[in-house]
Structures are given as C-alpha cells and as structure tokens.
Amino acid sequence: MTTHTTTLAKPPESGSARAKSDWARRFGMPSAWSAFTIALGFAILTPIVIFFARAFADGGSAFDRMLDQPNIGHILWTTVYLAVGSTTLGAVGAVGLAAVVTRVPARLQATAAVLPLLPLVIPPVALIYGWIFLFAPDVGYGNALLRMLPLFSQMDEGPINIYSVGGIIFVTATDVVGIIFIFVYARLREINGSVEAAARISGASATRTFFTVTLPLLRPALVAGLVTSLLVQLGQFTAPLFLGRRDNIEVVTTVIFRLREQYPIDYALTAAMGFPLLIVGVVAIAAQRRVVGDQRRYVTQGTGRGMFKKPSKAAGAAIIIYGSIVVVLPIVAITLVAFSPFWNGDLGGITFTTDNIRTAFQGTAIIDSVINTLSASALAAIIVLPLGFIAALAMSGIVRAPALVQRALDYIFIAPLAVPRALLGMSVLFVFIRPPFSLYGTLTMFVIGYVFIALPFALRSQYSSMIGVHSTVFEAARVCGASQFTMVRTIALPVAVRGMAAALAMTFVLLSNDFAVSVMVQTPGRQVMGTLLFQFEQSGAISQVAVMALVMTLITAIVLSITVRLGGRSTLENL
C-alpha cells in the first residue's frame, strides 16, 4: 500500500512583497535593535565616562594628588581586605545555608528559603545601628550580657568591638550571604534531580556527586554571586563610614565622601580615587561573562525540581537560629533604644517610653523622607522594568536580535555594577547639577541614581526566568507560524511574570535601603529615609536614629510583602 504525502507549497512572494521583506531584514528589526542599544548605552555610559574623564584633566594631575593623600596605600589595602574578607565569609555561609535549606522538611522549605534573605530586608543603615546597639564596646546590650559571664566579668568594655575591621567584615558578610544565597539556591532548585540521582545510582558518593555534577551546574550562579558580591564590597561605603570612624578605618569610598563634603568639590580627585575600583570592576565583569558564558549550557531538562535530600529537623533549627541572630537581635536592640529614655547598656534598669516616637514625628521630616523614598523608587522601577524586559527578550533569543546587540546589552546593563555606588552618586551629581539639566535639589536626582542601581537586577531576574524555558518551545511556536509579537505576548510575558515580580521586589528593597547614592546626591531640602537617619546621627540624636531605623525597616518590610503577594509566595526564592 502506497501512502502519498501532500506538501502545501508556500505561494511565491511577489516582487513588491519580496522587496518589503528584504527591506525589513535590512532596515527593520536589526536597525531598531541597534538604535535601542546605542541609545541605551549612551544614556547609561555617558555620565560615568564624563565623570571619570575628569581624572585625566590637566594632564592627569589628579592622580598625583591622589598619591599624595595621607596613607593612600593603607586605604587601598583596607578596601581590598574588607571586600575579600566579607565576600569569602559570606560565600561560605551562603553555600552552607543553601545546602541546609535543601534538608529542611518540604512543608517548611518555602519559609526556610526566605530566612537567609531577611538581612536584605533591613536597610543597611538600620542593620548597622542594630549591631552598634548590641556590640558597642562600652554600652552595647550584647556586650553587657557577655560581661555577666565568668569569663568576661572582669572586663569594663567588650569583649566584642563592633568598631573594628572584624566587625565591619561580619556586618557586611550578612548582606553577602543573602546576595550569594539568592543565586545559589535558585540554581539548586532548577537542577534536575534525576541528574544527581543517576550519579548516585552509578556508585558515586555524595561528595563526588557534589563536586562532579552539582558544583559544575552551580558554576554560573556561584560565579555571578561571587562577582556581584565582590564588586559591591569593593565599593562598600555604609559600614566603613559608620563603624570605621572611631578607629580611623578608611576605605576609598569614605575618603571620596570626605572630599564631597568639602567646598568646592574636587571632582577630579574623587574620580581619580575611584578609578582603580572602576578598572577592577570592569575586569571582574569581563571575567564573569567569560566564565559563565551562555547560561543555556547549564539548563537541565527532565522531571523534578532538584533533588532534595532526606529531611532533617536539625536543618530547620539551624536556619531559624541563623535568622534569629542576624535579624531578630539587631531589631530587638533598635527597639530597646527607640523606646528607652536613653541608651546606657543597662538591661536591668530599662524603662520604656514613647517620648522618642513623639519627638521624632513632631515635624514632617520623617513623613516627607518616606514619601520621597517611595516616589523615587517607584519611578525608577517604572523605568528599569520595561528596559530589562526588552533586553531579556533579545538576550534569551525569544526575538531575533543581532548577536552583537545581545552581547552589548549584556554589558550595558551590568556596567553600573562595575562602579561603586558612592561613585555612581558622584557621577550623577557631577553631570546633572550642571546645565542643561540643573537638577540640584530635585527628586529627579534620586530617581536617576536609583535607575543606575536597579538596572542590572531588573535584567538578570527577567532573563533568568526566560532562559529557564527550553528554546524548543519557542522554535515550535515559530514552526506553527507564530509571529514574534505573538510569542512575546503568549509565551515570554507569562514566563517573565515571576521574574518581573522578583525584579520589582529587588528594586524596591535595594532602593528603599540605599544610602551610598542617596547621600551623594542629597541636598539640605530634599531627604530620603537613609539620609535623614544620617542627619540624626550627625546631630547626636541617637534615640531618633533608632526611631528612624525602625521606620525604615517597617516600610521596607511592607513594600516587600506587597510585591511578594503580587508575585506569589516564591518570589523571594526566585530573586
């Protein structure tokens, strides 16, 4: 029996239709993608280039002045030492916590996965002051408790000094744990459990399976987390500023801040001081892109969402203890100070009062700072989320964009990460207070600075969601005749919803908590929450600092809860 197959031939295109098709290929989408990439690259890179170009004015004399700064060698060494120390400690903690969470009983895994991220919810300024209230050498509540123990009973101060290099590393490492945990745990959940199971069935031990199967599959997430954390820590500013002043511990960014506070501002010297950090950042990002390469190489197919190990109640207890130490203790200390007449470290004689709350809210400063923070964060999110979605479409291959455009977009979005936030703030200040912009004293200055902060995260969250879907899904849609617009509307957009929610959550957390960019672009008449807390700190109003820290923590928690509710319970897990 003979079976005849009939193939419907595509009608030949007319000359005019073929000409339009050729015109579209030549001058249509590729040209539009190129124009989009050039315009975005110009908007993002130009302020940074203009600012750092100041370092080379007058024959590069600013570099000579930089080398003449007192203790410049020690300052550079301290900057690197703190960054490497906190990143190393944080990476070990993050990988360990990710492994522990996989051992938590299934019904508690969603909650356990959120606990390591909680330090990211507390604004850094508030978290730092929580640790100060606990471990200030003389009147810290934690030190007061430790001195009750026989081992430390003879000490008048300590035994822990939060105003030290070790204190700075510990405090910043809690943030690093959260950042790297986001990358590592999300990837652990994506790794197909059957891959690890096959290795175990073949006789591989748990250790060999981890190093030969799991760890290579974790490489893109781990490298991305390490590089991100190292770059953030090289430009760390908040912890050294608040914790390093007592023992004169300075890093590059705190020196730049001192220069910013002088009038007139020596922009050339600040650019020269930050230039080494910029070079390190650019090299690190290039290395990251080379090591990670195409993340599709690490997508595993099959059934199951990761191979969770045998449940352990001890694992759940370990996660709870960690969350209690790094989150509950600082918040308790802040609350004690906020509701106490004064802070003296005497736990036995504490009396509670609401006078500090009433005093802090007598004027409109706190309310105005909350409104400014949320307004600037929302405007920045409205700008970066669509840009991140468009770039993720191109980079994931869902829509056809030239390879050069995809590579350029990747670097453009991640470029702000190479610049420490304090220097991003200086770039925005230098460029946008001058004509034709003249934005000094406006909320727009904060919005622009926040856009730079949020861009890398807006792209990565949405891109990660899109590459989690195998390319054959989109190829099948093309074969069935779906246009690129149809694929974006029916496949890419639903897939990216969770990534968008994660990007929105991360954007609000990052921007509501920002201090480094905000303090650089602030003006006396325009404050956000972080800069207002700093103003209270500068005036010595410790009780108001504690009240403001509580307000910042509460606002950030509310905003995060709303975005998690909109994006689903697993939004934080997919950050």
pLDDT single digits (tens) 23-34:
444 434 678 888
For residues 321 and 204, what is the distance between their CA atoms, to the nearest angstrom? 33
Orientation of helix 29-53 relative to helix 403-414, angle to 10°: 30
Comparing 132 with 512, the larger pLDDT belongs to 132
Read off the DSSP letter of residue 326.
I
Summarize pLDDT for 212-221 with one digit per residue, the tens.
666 666 777 7
Alpha helices in 415-541 (DSSP H): 421-432, 443-467, 471-479, 484-487, 493-513, 516-521, 529-538
- SS3 letters for 403-430? HHHHHHHHHHHHHHHHCCHHHHHHHHHH
Percent with pLDDT over 70 in the chain: 78
Q: What is the pLDDT of residue 312?
A: 75
Q: What is the pLDDT of residue 17?
A: 44
485: alpha, beta or left? (left if phi > 0; alpha if psi -120 to 50)? alpha
* Model pTM score: 0.81
Q: Which residue has the tokens 């709870």?
A: 320
* Residue 23 token pair: 């015109």
Query: Are residues 87 and 297 in contact, defined by beta-carbon separation less than 8 angstroms?
Result: no
Query: Are residues 130 and 334 in contact, defined by beta-carbon separation less than 8 angstroms?
Result: yes
* Residue 451 token pair: 């856009």
Domain ranges in the chain are 30-54+75-574
Q: What is the pLDDT of residue 100?
A: 86
For residues 340 and 338, what is the distance between their CA atoms, to the nearest angstrom? 6
Alpha helices in 293-327 (DSSP H): 313-323
Residue 305: pLDDT above 50? no
Summarize pLDDT for 149-192 with one digit per residue, the tens.
888 888 888 899 999 999 999 999 988 898 888 778 877 766 65
Q: What's the whole-number average pLDDT of the chain?
A: 81
User: What's the mean pLDDT in 421-449?
Assistant: 92
* Residue 190 token pair: 């994506």
Q: Residue 459 to residues 25, 226, 295, 496: CA-CA distances in angstroms?
A: 27, 18, 14, 11
* Residue 366 token pair: 């706190």
Query: Are residues 450 and 511 in contact, defined by beta-carbon separation less than 8 angstroms?
Result: yes
For residues 357 and 323, what is the distance between their CA atoms, to the nearest angstrom? 27
Residue 565: pLDDT above 90? no
CB atoms within 10 A of CB 173: 24
Query: Are residues 130 and 151 in contact, defined by beta-carbon separation less than 8 angstroms?
Result: no
Q: Which residue has the tokens 């303090």?
A: 519
Pick one of 1.10.3720.10, 3.40.1280.10, 3.40.50.10490, 1.20.58.760 as the CATH number of 30-54+75-574.
1.10.3720.10
For residues 483 and 490, what is the distance between their CA atoms, to the nearest angstrom? 11
CB atoms within 10 A of CB 153: 9
Q: Residue 169: which of 251, 288, 274 has the closest Cα?
A: 251
Q: How far is CA 544 from the centre of its chain?
A: 28
For residues 371 and 49, what is the distance between their CA atoms, to the nearest angstrom? 32
Q: Which range (82-91, 392-401, 546-555) has the least confidence?
A: 392-401
For residues 257 and 274, what is the distance between their CA atoms, to the nearest angstrom? 11
Summarize pLDDT for 185-218 with one digit per residue, the tens.
877 766 655 555 565 566 665 566 666 666 666 7
Read off the DSSP letter of residue 469.
S
Q: What is the pLDDT of residue 566?
A: 62
User: What is the sign, positive or negative, of the torsion defined by CA atoms of 230, 236, 240, 243?
Assistant: negative
291: alpha, beta or left? (left if phi > 0; alpha if psi -120 to 50)? alpha
Summarize pLDDT for 438-454 with one digit per residue, the tens.
998 899 999 999 999 98
